[in-house]
Amino acid sequence: MSCRISRKAPADVIAKTVVLHLRKTYRIELNGVKIGTTDFEFADTPMGVIHGKINFENKESPYELFKSHCKKYNVVINQDDKEFKFIDTQVIPELKVYLENGTELNGWGGAITGMEKDDFEIQYGGITSELMQSEFKHHCDEYYGTE
């Protein structure tokens, strides 16, 4: 894929292309074991919440993984539909996210929502405005505009 942009491209196209190019990948671990990654593609910037699709690694059933973990560690499951293998959890304390430099992401923690036949998403809350502006600047720029 080429990174070339036409000189006639609108500013919003150029900005979105740059954001895609600068996107970071974050490692997700459960009980110290890597289960996948996310790009945190979305944010509710003023609320300090980021969220994104989980790209699982070597996990046959993410639904069973999260359901059994939540039962074992008494994590509240908001909704569990066995037929569709859908689960929605509250914050899972043992779920950790790491920045590209290996530092653990600070905040309230991550919760999971998803269905086996579709995708699973991680929502991570409690991101300070300072961290949002430094680590997730593209979300701030998208919400507040660039300076």
4 within a domain of the structure (yes/no): no
pTM: 0.83
Amino acid code (one letter) for 20: L
Torsion of CA 129, 45, 9, 22, to 10 degrees: 60
Domain holding 43, by residue range, is 28-144
Neighbours of 140 (CB within 10 A): 19
Helix-helix angle 137-144:11-22, to 10 degrees: 160
110 within a domain of the structure (yes/no): yes
13 within a domain of the structure (yes/no): no
| Three-state DSSP state, 68 | helix
Residue range 33-68, pLDDT digits in tens: 999 999 999 999 999 999 999 999 988 899 999 999
10 within a domain of the structure (yes/no): no
Percent of the chain with pLDDT over 90: 72
22 within a domain of the structure (yes/no): no
23 within a domain of the structure (yes/no): no
Dihedral sign for Cα 140, 142, 144, 147, please.
positive
Q: Which residue bears the tokens 């290996």?
A: 102
pLDDT at residue 118, rounded to an integer: 86
8 within a domain of the structure (yes/no): no
95 within a domain of the structure (yes/no): yes
Question: Rounded to an integer, what distance in angstroms lies between the CA atom of residue 139 and that of residue 44?
Answer: 8
Question: Rounded to an integer, what distance in angstroms lies between the CA atom of residue 71 and that of residue 96?
Answer: 18
Pairwise pLDDT comparison (137 vs 92), residue with the higher score: 92
Q: How sure is the predictor about 146, in pLDDT bands with cuts at 50, 70 and 90?
A: confident
Is there a contact between 86 and 114 (Cβ–Cβ < 8 Å)? yes
Q: How many structural domains compose the chain?
A: 1
